[in-house]
């Protein structure tokens, strides 16, 4: 089982303040999870754009492989899910899967 591997790309160098809302910033880009692992590993390229004590909310979506992702606060990484073709039940993606690239938008304290 290989380690969780994700690459973040963005044209933004830092989180930018959201209009006149004091202390709230936004950071957006693409994340490519090339090797998924249920244990997860902190994605500092996203989390590091915000205060460590601040609230962070990351909105993921559907990856190019058809899996969908959501941010997990406890590990500061994305969890990936797939629908079981037989049962229709949502399951976590197996380890060592290339989830693919997806867009994200993150909000938090700056």
Q: 63-83 pLDDT, tens per residue?
A: 988 899 999 988 999 999 998
The tens digit of pLDDT for each residue in 1-23 reads 678 999 999 999 999 998 777 78
Q: pTM for the complete prediction?
A: 0.88
From its phi and psi, is residue 5 left (phi > 0), alpha (psi between -120 and 50) or beta? beta
pLDDT at 61 over 90: no
Mean pLDDT across the stretch 43-58? 87
């Amino acid at each position: 089982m290989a380690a969780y591997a994700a690459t973040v790309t963005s044209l933004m160098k830092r989180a930018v303040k959201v209009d006149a809302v004091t202390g709230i910033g936004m950071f957006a880009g693409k994340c490519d999870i090339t090797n998924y692992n249920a244990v997860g590993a902190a994605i500092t390229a996203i989390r590091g754009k915000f205060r460590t004590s601040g609230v962070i909310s990351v909105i993921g979506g559907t990856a190019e492989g058809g899996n969908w992702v959501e941010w997990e606060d406890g590990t500061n990484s994305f969890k990936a899910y797939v629908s079981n073709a037989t049962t229709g039940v949502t399951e976590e993606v197996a380890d060592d899967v290339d989830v693919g690239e997806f867009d994200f938008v993150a909000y938090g304290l700056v």
